Structure formats: C-alpha cells, structure tokens
Amino acid sequence: MVGPLDTVLLVALGVLALVFGALVFTLNSMARVTFALLAALVCVGGITAVLGLPYLGVVIVLMMVMEMVIMAVFMIAYMMNPAGLMPMSMLHNKRGALAISGVVFAALVAGIFAVPWPARTGIRPRDTTFQVGRSLMGDQMLTMVTLGFVLLATMVGATVLATRRGRYDRFGDDLDRRPADDPAGGGVGR
Amino acid sequence: MTFELILVLAAGLFCTGLFGALSQQSIVMIMMGIELMIGGIIVAAADFWHFLAPAQGSGQVVIVAAVVAMAVEMAMGFAVTTAIYRARQVDMTDMAEELKG
C-alpha cells in the first residue's frame, strides 16, 4: 500500500507540517509567520500528493503560495508588529485555549485508536485525476454547482464589504439624489 | 498503522490551528488558525480516501470542498477585516466587542 520511500516522505512531511504549524503561533515577525503557515500548508499538499492524489496536491500547493503571498501583504498592512522588531505577546486567554485544544486533541486521538476502522474496499484507479474529474462532473455535480455559487457569492460579498462608498453614499438613503454626491467629479456628463 | 498515524497528524494540525484561532488577538492571525484547521481536514480526507475507499471519487470531492472553504474563508475574512478597520480602526478582536452580551 505504502512503499518505503513514501513512508519516509510521509514522516518527513508530517513532522515538518507540525513544526511549521507550531511556528505559526510562536514566531514574532508577521512575515515569518505567514511563510511558516505557507510551509505547513505546502507540506499538507505534499502529503496529499504522496497519498496518491498528485493533482489535488499540486492544486493545494499552488493555491497556498498565491494565498499566502496575498496574506503577507495584509499581515504587514494590518498587524501591530509587522517586522517583529518589538517582541510582544499577541495572545489572550492562552491557558484556556491550550486546555481546549489539548482536550480536543486527546479526544480525537482516543477516537482514532478506539474506532474499529473498516477494511479497505475497492482498488485505487490508475488515474486519480480522472476519478475526481468524473466524480465532479457526474455524481457530485450538485456539489460542484453549489461550490460555484458559493464562490460567486463570496466574490460579490467581499467586493461589497470592501467598497468604501456604495450607492447609498452616492445617491442618498432613497437613491434619488441627482447628481450623485461624489467627492471628486469626473465621468461622462459630470 | 500508517492510517492511524496520519489521522493523528491531521488531529495535531487541527488542534494547533484551534489553539491559534482561540488564543490570537489579531483578526488576521485567527484566520491563519482556521487555515491550519482546514489543512488538517485535508490531510484526514486524503488519508480516508487512500486507506479506506480509494474506488470512490467522493473522498476527493471532500478535499475540493475543503480547498474552496479555505479560499472563501480567506476572501471574506480579508473583506471583513478591511471593512471593520475602515469603519473604526479595529484590527484586534478585543476591540470589536460591541455585540458582547
């Protein structure tokens, strides 16, 4: 099922993912934190690829690289300590959070070893990319359609939230103010 | 045994992210915690697919859904951060507690 090379890769990527995951919440500099998270999620993509899903693994790696580079910009823009020049704690209720996550981890591990997992059913298809494509365009079409609408709603919602001045700012509460109240003139006929 | 160990790795990633999401003050850092939690879910889904039901495509669809959830969370999180920062210069959770009961 898993060859020796794959086992070595899985162990290495797993340990690295955990180490970088822990670094995300221990490093001081925001830029370093972002790239630690990027490294952890690239390891996640690597594990996915080693487990026989190369397409999804590569998608995860590429997406995370883009996402974390964007995140780095936001981190440096919004954080109180962008470069980590002043070591400071940004935590609240650390003990409670540690207790909750520790209890959750213990419960998950207990469940993992207590549950009698079923035996493997079926054999792996030769082309797993083909399998996910068939699935998304066939049985799971409803999932795909739903995900598409979710992404569209996200695009619209994020744009609306991030817009500084909406139509109510321009046209008044009843949308009947003409011409629009714009801080700077311009455009056709204005 | 490999199956259980990879699940433990997924649980570890999930709980590291959970700790971060609960303990961080900065809104952006909370989003990083949530990203790490979804990363754990991806590992668990790939593990289940590989070791329990490789003949089913639905295991892979779970990963696709998790990746989409990651992207959506990131986009909406940044939009909300931008909106609340623009409205009242808030970038920490402790400063945004008007709705606290």
Here the CATH number for the domain that contains residue B11 is: 1.10.287.3510
- With beta carbons under 8 A apart, name residues in chain B contacting A161: 76, 79-80, 82-83
Whose CA is closest to B96, among B35, B86, A83? B86
What average pLDDT does chain A have?
Answer: 86
A65 plus A141 within the same structural domain = no
Tell me which residues of chain A, numbers 144 to 183, contact chain B at a CB-CB cutoff of 8 Å: 147, 150-151, 154-155, 157-159, 161-162, 164
Whose CA is closest to B3, among B33, B46, B41? B46
Closest to A44 (Cβ–Cβ): which among B4, B39, B65? B39
The pLDDT of residue A83: 56
> Which of A84, A117, A138 is a domain's end point?
A84
Closest to B11 (Cβ–Cβ): which among A7, A40, A112? A112
Q: Per the domain annotation, does A159 fall within a domain? A: yes
| Residue A42 tokens, joined | 């690239």
Distances in whole angstroms, Cα of residue B45 to Cα of each of A24, A51, B10: 23, 10, 9
Q: Per the domain annotation, does A150 fall within a domain? A: yes
Residues B37, A13, A98, A93, CA torsion sign: negative
The pLDDT of residue A1: 62
**pLDDT tens track for B24-57:** 888 888 888 999 999 999 999 999 999 998 988 8
As for how many domains chain B has, the answer is 1
Q: What percent of chain A has pLDDT over 70?
A: 89
Q: Are A32 and A10 in contact (CB under 8 A)?
A: no
Q: In DSSP terms, which residues pair with A91 in a beta bridge?
A: B24
